[in-house]
Amino acid sequence: MSETMIMGVQLALYGLGTVFAALVGFALLVMVLRRTMTPPAAETAPADEQS
Amino acid sequence: MGMPNAEKWFGSVRTSGKSATVGGFGVLDALLQGFTGLTWGRVAMFAIGLTLIYLAIKKQYEPMILLPLGFGAILANIPFSAAIGEHGVLTILYDAGITTELFPVLIFIAVGAMIDFSPLLRNPVMFFFGAAAQFGIFATILVAIGLGFDLKEAASIGIIGAADGPTSIYVAARFAPGLLAPISVAAYSYMALVPLIQPPVIRALTTQAERRIRMDYQDVPIPKALKIVFPIAVTLLAGLLVPMGVALIGLLMFGNLIRECGVLERLSLSAQNELANLVTLLLGITIGSTMTAEAFLNSHTLLILGMGLVAFIFDTAGGVLFAKLVNLFLKRKINPMIGAAGISAFPMSARVIHKMGLAEDRSNYLIMHAISANVAGQIGSVMAGGAVLALVPALLK
């Protein structure tokens, strides 16, 4: 395997890993923010009240 | 008949004072140099430019970018074109907007102002598919290296799989400016061809039963504060993770903050309309001007166009297969077609998935899930661009 290919494999692993880490982090962030920012009533309110 | 000949004739007019007809050969020569300078390569580029214009007008394939691109290609291939070269207006625009990476970054502000992240904020699990569908970028980088491209070129080609024109342009302008034209053409063409590329790949990787899986959607309200905090928090997190990508993700989120803050409606509308239109117009024609016969008509262009297609296929496959993998651990299954909507081509990909869902079951509405994944793909593609920008120089050290 050439040196460039080895670097390519490293780029693929680190790159995809970085993207996954970031987006999983964003997902967790949104879940936490939603939980802290949404008033409890809004989560359980009937649909007509929400609108 | 070249310029030295013309000088000779003009010279003879000045010294001998003979009739102007003699000097007319030089004038005629100058007038006809456009025709005499034509080559088969330039004629082929006219045909390519016209084809792009045809696709833009007749087929409506990404007309906002393909039409200026096609016309730019024609302008650049007229022999002795004054539009390009040292003082050519398109070269000046290129130096000002592409070399400096200004145009793609400005586009990100506009795109950010256009995106409504609400579906994704309601359904944050879809972030996973925004990551999985970037698989095509990295798989294509390996294919490109296998075909003999160096790491920077391969990274620029792989980014076509971001299905995100400005990110492709941004990365290619930095790592492989010589390949910018074919990469841009591939990125925008395949984005327009998503409805043709994705369905066969999805069908090949899923069963009919899987394509009929129904998914619940809860239309929970999203607090305004969350919509405001989200772009700021993402900018900070992404910036700390990949500082090289801050220009991309930061300005995308800046545009979104303008949209969501509620006090900058005029700026938001300007970003969505005037800024987006003006920069797209200049971006297309400027990149088109790099499509000279010498730079475009070579085997590399064909390889890049081929690898762009490979990138979109791998993206789709990556998203679908990841959804199938996740399903192994879930009680309430996810329709694996949703994984394919994790690419950045918005909203084409979401529409494709929705239509495919309806084709299998007339009462299965996947649109909101698909849009959530599609919006996640927009963030995923920018993050992938940032990761590539950060990692390639680090690996080459």
ipTM attached to this prediction = 0.82
* Chain B contact present for A14, CB below 8 A: yes
Domain count, chain B: 1
Mean pLDDT of B118-128: 92
The answer to whether B115 and B230 are in contact (CB under 8 A) is no
Nearest-by-Cβ selection for B125 from A21, A27, A29: A27
**Range(s) of the domain holding residue B245:** 43-396
For residue B77, what are its two tokens?
Answer: 């291939």
Q: Can you tell me the mean pLDDT for B239-256?
A: 91
Q: Are B202 and B338 in contact (CB under 8 A)?
A: no
- Cα B373 to Cα B319: distance, rounded to the nearest angstrom: 10
Query: Does residue B31 lie within any of the structural domains?
Result: no
Is the pLDDT confidence value at B87 over 90? no
DSSP class of B22 = H
Return the structure tokens found at B38: 């034509």
Q: pLDDT, tens digit, for every residue of A19-44?
A: 999 999 999 999 999 888 877 665 55
Evaluate whether residue B117 is within a structural domain.
Answer: yes
CATH number of the structural domain spanning residue B288: 1.20.1530
A30 vs B121, B220, B395: nearest CB? B121
pLDDT in tens, B124-172: 999 999 999 999 999 999 999 999 999 999 999 999 998 888 999 999 9
Q: What is the rounded distance in angstroms from the CA atom of residue B95 to the CA atom of residue B190? A: 26
Q: At B143, which amino acid appears? A: V
How many angstroms separate the CA atoms of B69 and B91, rounded?
14
Backbone torsion region of residue B387, taken as left when φ is above 0, otherwise alpha when ψ lies between -120 and 50, otherwise beta: alpha
What is the reported pLDDT for B154?
Answer: 96
CA distance, residue B268 to nearest chain A CA (Å): 23
Average pLDDT, chain B: 88
Sign of CA dihedral B143, B147, B153, B157: negative
A12 contact B CB<8A: yes
What tokens appear for B263 in the block?
A: 């006090």
Could you read off the pLDDT of B343-393 as tens digits, one per residue?
988 888 999 999 999 999 888 899 999 999 999 999 999 999 999 999 999
Q: How confident is the model at residue B37 (pLDDT cuts 50, 70, 90)?
A: confident
pTM of the model as a whole? 0.84
Least confident of A46-50, B35-39, B196-200, B228-232: A46-50
Structure-block tokens of residue B10: 């003009």
Quick check: is B16 in a domain?
no
Residues 6+ away with beta carbon under 8 Å from B209: none
State the nearest Cα–Cα gap between B127 and chain A, in angstroms. 6
- Residue B149: inside a domain, yes or no? yes
Q: Do B151 and A4 touch (CB under 8 A)?
A: yes
Q: Is residue B327 part of a domain?
A: yes
Q: Which residue shows structure tokens 């050439």?
A: A2
Confirm if B352 and B192 have CB atoms less than 8 A apart: no
What is the share, in percent, of chain B residues with pLDDT greater than 90? Answer: 64
- Which residues have a Cβ under 8 Å from the Cβ of B42 and sit 6 or more positions away? B77, B78, B79, B293
Phi and psi, residue B331, nearest 5° = -80, -50
* pLDDT given for residue B20 in this prediction: 44
Q: Is B30 part of any domain?
A: no
b/e sequence A6-32, b meaning 16+ C-beta within 10 Å: ebbeebbebbbebbbebbebbbebbee
Q: How far is B144 from chain A (nearest CA, A)?
A: 9
Instruction: Report the distance separating Cα B288 and Cα B91, nearest Å.
Output: 11
> Using the 8-state DSSP alphabet, how is residue B96 labeled?
I
Backbone phi, psi, residue B38, to 5°: -65, 140
Whether B2 is in a domain gets the answer: no
| Residue B319, both tokens | 């998203």
Q: Give CA–CA dist B310/B82, Å, rounded.
A: 37
A11 in contact with B, Cβ within 8 Å: yes
Distance CA B356, CA A11 (A): 34
Q: Do B383 and A30 touch (CB under 8 A)?
A: no
CB B81 within 8 A of CB B46: no
CA gap B143, B99 in Å, rounded:
27
Burial of B218 (0-12, 13-18, 19+ CB in 10 A): exposed
Q: Is residue B95 part of a domain?
A: yes
Asked if residue B347 has a cis previous peptide bond (ω within 30° of 0), the answer is yes
